[in-house]
């Protein structure tokens, strides 16, 4: 889907002027602000109800823009960026002072990625600035994969919503820290860890239990124990488990949901949004396999079921 030039220029002007623009990426829709504008970024936290200890990912249009925002660009970063950018990989690196502390929860590091959605790239280029952009929804709620999901969650709190069609990846990016003596996987996504390790060697996996409130800055977005929550209670069950009492729906692997992880991820949030609108007592999801290629999906479902 393409935008007319006038709409794109309007969106870019809003970003440069301190406004908030919801924009499509291949992962989920983002709530974007000029990453150099601390006041605009503060609006993101207010609109989402997001705690300020949860850092934001900064979207850039190229490796060159990314390198201009960091103090170091190690060889593993270059190898990963050239393999996966544009795409659903966020790299955490030491930041330059040009990135305000509010973007990074006061940390000396920043998460950067180049999205692959053409409208996201066009917006960054038209605005001429990097765009801070967490998911365009209320904090801890289901992430949006369509423009309509954004409107239902945030209403008129956003200055403009760009409609780029459904997200094709469907869950948030893999987040990998390259700060310190060893790479650390902070958040799994659709890129399997063994694939990353084949490029840069052994990667340590951060604890996945989540960061409790009030415990200081988080190393990455998506580290709260409860996240990606539908309003309807979500149950993560084995295939043989009996259904609970009340009115609900199952999402079963290989039936309602695809048996392949990338296709499953692309459908997951849309399926949960659809069921969440039906006033059910519960949504049951069959637990996917505990394998590296399913790690991103399993992480999202585990957090969504942790109420």
pLDDT 10s digits, 236-272: 999 999 988 999 999 999 999 999 999 999 999 999 9
Average pLDDT over residues 290-294: 97
- Residue 291 above 60 pLDDT? yes
Instruction: Report whether 29 contacts 6 (CB < 8 A).
Output: no
- What lies within 8 Å, CB to CB, of 275 at 6+ separation is 230, 232, 249, 251, 283
Please give the pLDDT value at position 3.
74
Q: What is the pLDDT of residue 135?
A: 97
- pLDDT (0 to 100) of residue 161: 97
Phi and psi, residue 187, nearest 5°: -150, 125
Provide the H-helix boundaries in 74-128. 75-84, 118-127
Q: pLDDT at position 91, please?
A: 98
pLDDT at residue 214, rounded to an integer = 54
Question: Is a pLDDT exceeding 90 seen at residue 221?
Answer: no
Q: Give residue 228's pLDDT.
A: 86
List of domains in the chain:
5-205 (3.90.870.10), 234-304 (no CATH)
Per-residue model confidence (pLDDT) at position 217: 73
% of residues, the chain, pLDDT over 90: 90
Length in residues, the chain:
307
Distance, CA of 94 to CA of 84 (rounded, Å): 20
Mean pLDDT to the nearest integer, 197-203? 98
What pLDDT score was predicted for residue 1? 57
Q: How far is CA 51 from CA 54, 56, 104, 170, 253, in A?
A: 6, 11, 12, 24, 34
Per-residue pLDDT reduced to its tens digit, 108-165: 999 999 999 999 999 999 999 999 999 999 999 999 999 999 999 999 999 999 999 9
pLDDT attached to residue 227: 78
- Backbone dihedral region for residue 207 (phi beyond 0: left; psi -120 to 50: alpha; all else: beta): beta
pLDDT of residue 215 exceeding 90: no
pLDDT for residue 225: 66
Q: Are 229 and 304 in contact (CB under 8 A)?
A: yes
b/e 274-305 (16+ beta carbons within 10 angstroms → b): ebbeeebebbbbbbbeeebbbbbbbbbbbbbb
Q: What is the mean pLDDT of residues 62-76?
A: 98
Give the residues across from 284 on adjacent strands: 235, 250
The whole-number pLDDT of residue 113 equals 98
d(CA 96, CA 282): 46
């Amino acid at each position: 889907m393409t935008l007319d030039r006038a709409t794109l220029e309007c969106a870019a002007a809003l970003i440069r002027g301190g406004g908030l623009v919801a924009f499509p990426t291949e992962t989920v829709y983002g709530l974007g602000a000029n990453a150099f504008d601390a006041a605009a970024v503060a609006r993101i936290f207010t609109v989402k109800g997001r705690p300020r200890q949860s850092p934001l990912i900064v979207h850039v249009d190229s490796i060159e823009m990314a390198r201009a925002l960091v103090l170091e660009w190690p060889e593993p970063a270059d190898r990963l960026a050239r393999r996966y950018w544009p795409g659903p990989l966020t790299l955490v690196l030491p930041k330059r002072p040009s990135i305000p502390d509010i973007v990074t929860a006061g940390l000396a590091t920043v998460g950067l990625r180049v999205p692959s959605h053409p409208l996201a790239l066009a917006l960054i280029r038209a605005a001429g600035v990097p765009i801070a952009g967490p998911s365009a929804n209320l904090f801890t709620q289901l992430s949006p994969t369509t423009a309509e999901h954004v409107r239902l969650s945030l209403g008129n709190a956003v200055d403009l919503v760009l409609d780029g069609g459904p997200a094709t990846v469907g869950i948030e990016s893999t987040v990998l820290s390259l700060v310190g003596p060893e790479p650390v996987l902070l958040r799994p996504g659709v890129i399997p860890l063994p694939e990353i390790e084949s490029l840069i060697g052994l990667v340590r996996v951060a604890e996945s239990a989540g960061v409790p409130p009030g415990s200081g800055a988080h190393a990455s977005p998506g580290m709260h124990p409860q996240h990606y929550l539908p309003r309807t209670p979500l149950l993560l069950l084995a295939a043989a488990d009996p259904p609970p009492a009340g009115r609900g729906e199952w999402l079963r692997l290989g039936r309602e949901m695809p048996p392949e992880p990338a296709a499953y991820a692309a459908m997951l949030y849309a399926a949960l949004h659809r069921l969440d609108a039906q006033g059910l007592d519960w949504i049951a999801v069959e637990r996917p396999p505990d394998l590296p290629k399913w790690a991103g999906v399993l992480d999202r479902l585990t957090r969504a079921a942790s109420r």
